[in-house]
Amino acid sequence: EMLSYLLDQIDAGDFNMNVLEAVVIPNSNYVFKGQEYRAQVFLAAYDSTNTPKVLLSSGQELTVEAGKGIYTTKSNSIGIKKWGGTIQLDDGGKTISKSFEASFEVAEANATISATGMNVFYRGIPNPVAISAGGVAERDVDARISSGNLSRKSPGVYEVLPGVQGDNATISVFANVDGSRRLMGNMDFRVLPLPTPDAIVEGIRGSEGALTVGRLSRLQKVDAKAKDFVFEVDYEVVSFEVASNCWLNCFWLCEMAPCSCFTSPDMAS
């Protein structure tokens, strides 16, 4: 009798499993060229006659299919989301409980589109540029520029102030992948000076029209604006020159103003 009892106790703490299933769990389903892909491959077993109970930390019970709890959720905010709970299984009237924890990351859906034929930065103003690395969280992305200053303004949005020297600048994008710094790509840009603005007087561009003496006498100031420029740039007029001639009275007037306003009596009359 003692021998029979001992034999019965050999499997007393074991679960009876009648289903085997091959399981593959990769570290990531997304890898870069040259990066190592790693996965765990093993046999999992469960008892189709003894369905486990899967409870989240919130108390919610998950639907169980083929011995596996099915967890689904939606998130309206980006960042790392942690979750977990317990798996409970009946063992002859005794409940066996095992806890688990997991996490996933929610990223903003986005696409970076660049017109490669117009890769231009203008010197003297902040140039906006969108930078991202596919499959990499924004916090793990680092961008550098070869000439000038590159500053991050918001997730994925940067501003470039080109250097005073050189006609080209290169932006390099790096990412922290599996604990190492990896170059994701480069892009070259041309660096151009701001276009020369035209004088604007009463809405008339200096290179396109003329003013009568009557209209000219009512002017207060001169503005400046570049024609068809892609950026809104506020040019400051530090000085301007007014030249006029009258062939009938045979005189020539040329006045220089040290600011943007008409200051001389001759300019106003």
Residue range 107-127: mean pLDDT, rounded: 75
pLDDT for residue 5 is more than 60: no
CATH of the domain at 176: 2.60.40
pLDDT for residue 86 is more than 90: yes
**DSSP 3-state assignment of 215?**
helix
Are both 148 and 170 inside the same structural domain? Answer: yes
Q: What is the pLDDT of residues 125-157, one digit of tens each?
A: 899 998 888 878 888 899 999 999 999 998 888
Choose one of 125, 160, 192: the last residue of a domain: 192
Assess if residue 111 is contained within a domain: no
Q: How far apart are the first and last CA of the chain?
A: 128
Q: Between 254 and 15, name the one with better pLDDT.
A: 15
Residue 252 has what pLDDT?
A: 47
Choose one of 106, 124, 149: the last residue of a domain: 106
Q: Between 103 and 109, name the one with better pLDDT.
A: 103
265-to-126, 236, 256, 258, 262 alpha-carbon distances in Å? 40, 23, 12, 14, 8
Q: How confident is the model at residue 251 (pLDDT cuts 50, 70, 90)?
A: very low
Tell me how far apart the alpha carbons of residues 178 and 101 are, in angstroms, rounded to a whole number.
21
Structure tokens at 21: 């299933």
Residues near 46 by beta carbon (within 8 Å), at least 6 away in sequence: 17, 19, 21, 52, 66, 67, 68
Choose one of 174, 192, 210: the last residue of a domain: 192
Tell me how far apart the alpha carbons of residues 268 and 251 are, in angstroms, rounded to a whole number.
17
The radius of gyration computed from the CA coordinates of the chain, to the nearest angstrom, equals 36
Q: Between 175 and 29, name the one with better pLDDT.
A: 175
Residue 232 has what pLDDT?
A: 81
Contact 233, 125 (CB under 8 A): yes
Average pLDDT of the chain, as a whole number? 79
Residue range 55-67: mean pLDDT, rounded: 93
Residue 244 has what pLDDT?
A: 64
Residue 82 has what pLDDT?
A: 92
Are both 120 and 137 inside the same structural domain? Answer: yes
Are both 203 and 164 inside the same structural domain? Answer: no
Count of structural domains within the chain: 3
Residue 12 has what pLDDT?
A: 52
Q: How confident is the model at residue 249 (pLDDT cuts 50, 70, 90)?
A: low
Residue 10 has what pLDDT?
A: 47
Are both 85 and 11 inside the same structural domain? Answer: yes
Residue 234 has what pLDDT?
A: 82
What proportion of the chain, given as a percentage, has pLDDT over 70? 74
Residue 145 has what pLDDT?
A: 93
- Which DSSP string do the residues of 11-29 spell out, in sequence order? TTT-----EEEEEEEES-S
Assess if residue 98 is contained within a domain: yes
Antiparallel, parallel or unpaired: β 157-161 and 149-154: antiparallel
Q: Tokens 């009512």 — which residue?
A: 218
pLDDT for residue 250 is more than 50: no
Residue range 110-134: mean pLDDT, rounded: 79
Residue 31 has what pLDDT?
A: 75
Are both 58 and 126 inside the same structural domain? Answer: no
Residue 19 has what pLDDT?
A: 85
Tell me how far apart the alpha carbons of residues 48 and 61 are, in angstroms, rounded to a whole number.
19
Tell me how far apart the alpha carbons of residues 24 and 27 are, in angstroms, rounded to a whole number.
10
Tell me how far apart the alpha carbons of residues 91 and 16 are, in angstroms, rounded to a whole number.
10
Tell me how far apart the alpha carbons of residues 233 and 197 are, in angstroms, rounded to a whole number.
10
Tell me how far apart the alpha carbons of residues 114 and 48 are, in angstroms, rounded to a whole number.
54
Residue 139 has what pLDDT?
A: 86
Contact 169, 186 (CB under 8 A): no
Q: What is the pLDDT of residues 187-240, one digit of tens each?
A: 999 999 988 888 877 677 766 666 666 666 666 777 888 887 878 888 888 777
Contact 214, 229 (CB under 8 A): no
* Length, in residues, of the chain: 269
Residues near 256 by beta carbon (within 8 Å), at least 6 away in sequence: 239, 240, 241
